[in-house]
Amino acid sequence: MLLIYCPYCEEERSELEFRHGGDAHIARPTNMADISDEEFQEFFFLRDNPKGLIFERWRHIHGCGRFFNAARDTVSDKFYMSYKAGEPKPDIPGVTTATEKTVETYEATEGTAK
C-alpha cells in the first residue's frame, strides 16, 4: 500500500484515502465539438503508459476531497513529489529535462472550457 502526500492536507496518508485519477496534464480541448476524431482519440484514449516517471492525478477522496498531481516511478512505485492542481509539470532532478509549463489540469482550464 502506498503512502501518499496530500499537498493540501500537507501530510502523508494511506492509499486507502485516495482515488487514482489517471494521467495528469491532459488538457481538455476548449473546442470539443470542433475537433476531429483523431484529436478526440488522442485526448480521450491514448496514453503514454510510461515505464518509469509518470505524472498522475490523485484525489484525496476520504480526506479533503481535492484533486492534486504527483510524480511517481512506475517501476519502484516511489513518489518523487506531489503538487497542487494547476501547478506546472515540475522538473524532477536527474529524471526529466525541463518541460513547457503550458499544459494544465482540468481545474486550471475549468473557466475557459465550453
Partner 1 sequence: MRKYSVFAVAREAMRGHKGWEAQWTSPEPRKEYDVIIVGGGGHGLGAAYYLAKEHGITNIAVIEKGWLGGGNTGRNTTIIRSNYLYDESMDIYEHSLKLWEGLSQDLNYNVMYSPRGVMMLSHNVHDKQSFQRHVHANRLYGIDNEWLTPQQAKEFVPVLDISASARYPINGAALQRRGGTARHDAVAWGYARAASDRGVHVIQNCEVKGIRRGPDGAVTGVETSKGFIGAKKVAVSASGHNSVILSMADVKLPLHSVPLQALVSEPMKPIFPCVVMSNSVHAYISQSDKGELVIGAGTDQYNSYSQTGGLQIITHTLDAICELFPMFRRVKMMRQWGGITDNTPDRSAIQGVTPVKNLFVNCGWGTGGFKATPGSAHLFAYLIAKGEPHRLAAGLTLDRFRTGRLIDEAAAAAVAH
Residues in contact with partner 1 by the rule CB under 8 A: 1-2, 15-16, 19-20, 22, 37-38, 40-42, 44-51, 54, 56, 72, 74-77
Select 14 or 30, whichever has its Cβ closest to partner 1: 14
Q: What is the DSSP letter of 93?
A: T
CB of 112 to partner 1, least distance (A): 26
CB of 40 to partner 1, least distance (A): 8
Q: How far is CA 68 from CA 20, 40, 74, 112, in A?
A: 10, 24, 18, 20
* Residue whose C-alpha cell reads 476531497 in the numeric block: 65
